[in-house]
Amino acid sequence: MTKEEIKSATKHSLYNKNEIENSKMCGCYYCKSTFPASMIRYDDYIGGEWTALCPLCNVDAVIGDASGVPINKKVLTEISNVMFESESLTANVQDEDDKNGLIDEQGTETIPGKWKRVGYLIDGFAKVWNDDNKCGIVDMDGKEVIPCIWKSVGSLIDGFAKVWNDDYKCGIVDKNGEVVVPCIWLDAERFSEGLATVQNDEEKWGFVDMNGEIVIPCTWKYTNYFNEGLAAVVNDDVMWGFIDKNGQTVIPCIWKGSRDFSEGLAPVMNDDRKWGFIDKNGENVIPCKWSDVEYFSEGLAIVIDENRKYGYINMEGKLVIPCKWDYADPFKNGQARVSDDDRNELTIDKSGNII
Ligand SMILES: [Zn+2]
């Protein structure tokens, strides 16, 4: 792509709500992921609710396929290299012989200063780069938990991290730095219920087990993680269904959008872009009539009506807390945080009373 082409492509990441609603697949040139357009939530738009945020990295760098821009890893990487790479490389590098470490709030050096670059400290771990520009992860004592031998390393999540080798092939290592999934994939994601998603060179997704062996072949355009024994998958027509851990399709790909099962029910979006819920037999037990919904938590799920107001339904689909809140969080220990029209944060109980 020429610089001009890249510039005009990035224009599609602004004020793009209509374009995205007319797209099947989207790509983000910040995290370089491709994903179905239905992954972008009703309230994932900023800038007067017209600019989409990436559902995977929260950056406003999303382009839909209705723009005419080819949505694939190669194109997204080209755009990213022009838009972000030069910036992020210079930001952290200091003087040539200046070695970086990390200090805590008291000024004590927590990670000894021997690295060329040190990333942010997240949950007690930081990404580091050595003089050869190889990347690894150190703990608070400066101990290399993931040795500096990788081209790039993702964050440690649930004891696993994505790594890329010199050929930019992706794999997964555990928190001891041991390779669990060898670097032979275009992309890989975290483990959930013993299986991790991997993407092959044709940009199709499948699953590997804890030995890195493929157990569900890479045939899907997109997959979510396994949850309650099922994973949401997207076929070539960008329609959503569910597979079990044997790779069998247990709920056919007939939905325009879907999210993970929780408490036995999964959100689904119909052709009119309205959300409801299905059970594990695929039956549409709560009709699709909401602008958006959240997963069930403690028997209640958030629903958003056409006026962008938040309420809660029970597992029978009955609206038990009316849609009158400006924002709402899922219930936890019998309580949920909501905010009113004036953006006051309040706590409510399961009857909708303010406590
Ligand atoms: Zn992204």
Provide the CATH number for the domain around residue 239: 2.40.10
- Residues in contact with 244: Cβ distance below 8 Å, sequence separation at least 6, in sequence order: 229, 230, 250
33 C-alpha vs ligand 1 centroid, how far in Å? 6
Asked if residue 142 and residue 31 are part of one domain, the reply reads: no
Asked if residue 117 and residue 37 are part of one domain, the reply reads: no
32 C-alpha vs ligand 1 centroid, how far in Å? 6
Tell which of 289, 314, 338 closes a domain: 289
Query: How wide is the angle at C-alpha 22 spanned by C-alphas 16 and 26, nearest 5°?
Result: 65
Number of domains in the chain: 4
Q: What is the pLDDT of residue 224?
A: 95
Q: Where are the beta strands (DSSP E) in 244-354?
A: 249-255, 257-258, 266-269, 275-278, 286-290, 292-293, 300-304, 310-314, 319-325, 327-328, 336-339, 345-348
Asked if residue 238 and residue 126 are part of one domain, the reply reads: no
Asked if residue 196 and residue 243 are part of one domain, the reply reads: no
pLDDT tens by residue, 182-208: 999 999 998 999 999 999 999 999 999
- Report phi then psi at 292, rounded to 5: -165, 160
Task: Tokens for 160, please give them.
Answer: 């696993």
Q: Residue 180: is its pLDDT beyond 60?
A: yes
Asked if residue 219 and residue 96 are part of one domain, the reply reads: yes
Q: What is the pLDDT of residue 22?
A: 95
Q: Using CA atoms, how far apart are residues 15 and 50, in angstroms rounded to an integer? A: 5
28 C-alpha vs ligand 1 centroid, how far in Å? 5
80 C-alpha vs ligand 1 centroid, how far in Å? 11
Q: What is the pLDDT of residue 164?
A: 94
Task: Tokens for 59, please give them.
Answer: 């950056």
248 C-alpha vs ligand 1 centroid, how far in Å? 29
Task: Tokens for 198, please give them.
Answer: 């991997």
SS3 6: helix
Q: What is the pTM of this model?
A: 0.86
129 C-alpha vs ligand 1 centroid, how far in Å? 23
Looking at residue 326, which CATH number applies to its domain? Answer: 2.40.10.480
Asked if residue 169 and residue 77 are part of one domain, the reply reads: no
35 C-alpha vs ligand 1 centroid, how far in Å? 10
Tell which of 268, 289, 310 closes a domain: 289
Strand partners, 179: 173
Tell which of 195, 223, 251 closes a domain: 223
285 C-alpha vs ligand 1 centroid, how far in Å? 32
Q: What is the pLDDT of residue 107?
A: 58
pLDDT tens by residue, 111-144: 666 788 887 777 788 888 888 989 999 888 888 9
pLDDT tens by residue, 306-350: 999 999 999 999 999 999 999 999 999 999 999 999 989 999 999
Asked if residue 242 and residue 217 are part of one domain, the reply reads: no
Asked if residue 260 and residue 177 are part of one domain, the reply reads: no
Per this entry, what is the length of the chain?
355
99 C-alpha vs ligand 1 centroid, how far in Å? 31
328: containing domain:
291-355
Strand partners, 26: 35, 64
Looking at residue 100, which CATH number applies to its domain? Answer: 2.40.128
Q: What is the pLDDT of residue 287?
A: 98
Percent of the chain with pLDDT over 90: 76
Asked if residue 194 and residue 237 are part of one domain, the reply reads: no
327 C-alpha vs ligand 1 centroid, how far in Å? 23
Instruction: Name all contacts of 345-349 with Cβ < 8 Å and 24+ positions apart.
Output: 348/321
Asked if residue 100 and residue 140 are part of one domain, the reply reads: yes
Of 72-76, 107-111, 222-226, 229-233, the one with minimum mean pLDDT is 107-111
Ligand 1 (ion): residues with CB under 5 Å are: 28, 30-31, 54, 56-57
Q: Using CA atoms, how far apart are residues 281 and 250, in angstroms rounded to an integer? A: 8
Q: What is the pLDDT of residue 95?
A: 36
Q: What is the pLDDT of residue 110?
A: 63
Q: Using CA atoms, how far apart are residues 286 and 303, in angstroms rounded to an integer? A: 12
Task: Look at 111 and 75; give whichever has higher pLDDT.
Answer: 75
337 C-alpha vs ligand 1 centroid, how far in Å? 27
230 C-alpha vs ligand 1 centroid, how far in Å? 25
Asked if residue 314 and residue 283 are part of one domain, the reply reads: no
**pLDDT band for position 235 (cuts 50, 70, 90):** very high
95 C-alpha vs ligand 1 centroid, how far in Å? 31
Asked if residue 204 and residue 304 are part of one domain, the reply reads: no
Q: Residue 247: is its pLDDT beyond 90?
A: yes
62 C-alpha vs ligand 1 centroid, how far in Å? 7
31 C-alpha vs ligand 1 centroid, how far in Å? 4
